[in-house]
Amino acid sequence: MERSSIKAEKREVSGKGFARSLRRKGMIPGVMYREGNSLPIQLNKPELIKFLHRSGGEQVIVNLAFPDGENRLALVKEYQVDPVNRELLHTDFFEVSLKEPIKVVAAVHIVGEPIGIKRDGGALQYGISEIEIECLPDSIPGHINVDVSALGAGDSIHVRDISLPEGIKVLTHGEEAIAIVTLPKEEEAAPGAAAAEPEVIKKGKEKAEGETKAEKK
């Protein structure tokens, strides 16, 4: 994806009233973080909304262009929207350097239909939906595809089974399950035998779309 650029300005004023005034003028208040420091900023609303739609929630680097000619590269850390009218309220950024590795969370996308469903009558159970990785900003994958087509009934894929490009280090524990194809019910326990304890799968945290937080000062 071609790198997007958004017009940004440093701001000295804060508060709910000022934030509302900014939004009426086509700007969105935000904060850019870097190594424990924070910089209040305001951004061009149409450009920011276009970028958020293009990125589709994936970790994508954006260039923040300031009036004095300064350009800073950043990732969207989080953003807030109004729960009623769905208007964008505030956006936080994390400034990055292309020469320094960073830790980010990448979404896991399951692709394919397990053969264990079509052939063996099993069912697909989902494990974690994202993993933590460390890499240079330009190497951040938008998401990670995990093909489950070859899984038979009773098979599973764990974090340790994922193959990623060189330079990307996986930080999530390798034993975490990503997908499991369960055995058909009649095969789960023989008659008269003690039923086996079901395997517990840790669920990934899902971000609620449109989660609203208090506007930042």
Which residue ranges make up each domain of the chain? 4-95, 102-188
CATH topology (fold) of 4-95: Ribosomal Protein L25; Chain P (2.40.240)
With contact defined as beta carbons under 8 Å apart, do 117 and 154 qualify?
no
Q: What's 102-188's CATH class?
A: mainly beta
Supply the pLDDT for residue 176: 98
Supply the pLDDT for residue 202: 39
Supply the pLDDT for residue 210: 42
Strand segments, DSSP code E, in the chain are 4-10, 27-34, 37-44, 62-65, 71-81, 88-95, 102-111, 123-126, 130-135, 143-147, 156-158, 169-170, 177-182
Going residue by residue through the chain, which has 217 residues, state the pLDDT in tens, using 9 for 90 and above: 468 999 999 998 888 888 889 999 999 999 999 988 999 999 999 999 999 999 888 889 999 999 999 999 999 999 999 999 999 999 999 999 999 999 999 999 999 999 999 899 999 999 999 999 999 999 999 899 999 999 999 999 999 999 999 999 999 999 999 999 999 876 554 454 444 444 444 333 344 334 444 444 4
C-alpha closest to that of 187 among 156, 147, 152, 148? 152
